[in-house]
Amino acid sequence: MGTGRDVAERGAVDGMPVDGEHLALDLVNTTFIRGGLRGHLVDVLVEPADLAAWVERHGEGLDPASAPPGELGPAELAAFLELRRALRAVLTAVVAGGPAADADVAVVNGALRAAPGWAELPPGAVGRAVPRSLAGERGRVLLARVAQAAVELLTGERRDSVKACPAPGCILFFLQQHARRAWCSTSCGTRVRVARHSRRHAEE
């Protein structure tokens, strides 16, 4: 099962089965399998316009309004897809308990170095932190914010809460906020239960 774009169907940015988990996971989850084990790969980031729509949808974590203006074109899309590929590889290694490959870690860190950012105290120290960055390019700044979110997630206390959905044919990641959550979504849980049920009936 590959995640190459050439074999994927283009999906809608507002039709992701799992979204709003965490900025870094949300980027990785822009590819998913529709239809379970015999399903097909769907990618919601195929055209530059898809990236712009994804960015707007993740306003709270990305804060695109505070990023410098600029185009999100084919080059920016390619950079996001490269970060997505690297993050999927890193997450896969992390949930398997092994170290991630140096090359994948380097992609995440490279995105950060390309647009160093920080969060400042707001005037009077009242209100939310004000995001700033050295780079003046919108794509780089937004990319670095996703990479920063990934670093904070994977080096913080929520690292152990990152889970890969165990449903057969599912490639999504989620944050396990409570121990009872076993699947990325209720549809994966239902699919597994239905499969178990029909297997039991077939054996009887």
**In which region does residue 127 sit, left (phi positive, over 0), alpha (psi from -120 to 50) or beta (all else)?**
left
Determine, following the binding rule CB under 5 A, whether residue 25 of this chain makes contact with Zn ion.
Answer: no
Stretch that binds Zn ion, among 30-38, 51-59, 100-108, 188-196 (CB under 5 A): 188-196
**CA separation for the pair 5, 81 (Å, rounded):** 10
3-state secondary structure of 196: helix
Place of tokens 């409570």: 178
Residues numbered 156-175 forming contacts with Zn ion, rule: CB under 5 A: 165, 167, 170, 172
Residue with smaller CB distance to Zn ion, 94 or 184: 184
* Chain centre distance of CA 180: 22
Residue with smaller CB distance to Zn ion, 141 or 188: 188
Question: Contact, 33 vs 54, CB < 8 A?
Answer: no
| Beta-carbon-side half-sphere exposure of residue 154 (alpha carbons within 13 Å) | 25
Q: What are phi and psi of 31, to 5 degrees?
A: -115, 140
Q: Which amino acid is at 128?
A: R
Residue with smaller CB distance to Zn ion, 17 or 48: 17
Q: Which of 83, 141, 184, 192 binds Zn ion (CB under 5 A)?
A: 184
Determine, following the binding rule CB under 5 A, whether residue 33 of this chain makes contact with Zn ion.
Answer: no
Q: What are phi and psi of 2, to 5 degrees?
A: -95, 175
Stretch that binds Zn ion, among 79-87, 96-104, 140-148, 182-190 (CB under 5 A): 182-190
Residue with smaller CB distance to Zn ion, 17 or 139: 17
Which alpha helices (DSSP H) does the chain contain, by range? 23-28, 48-57, 59-62, 74-95, 102-113, 138-155, 186-203
Residue with smaller CB distance to Zn ion, 85 or 181: 181
Query: Minimal distance in Å, beta carbon 71 to Zn ion?
Result: 34
Q: Binding string to Zn ion for residues 41 to 80, with x set by CB under 5 A, is what?
A: ----------------------------------------
Residue with smaller CB distance to Zn ion, 21 or 76: 21
Q: Which of 19, 188, 191, 192 binds Zn ion (CB under 5 A)?
A: 188
Positions touching Zn ion (CB under 5 A) are 165, 167, 170, 172, 184, 188
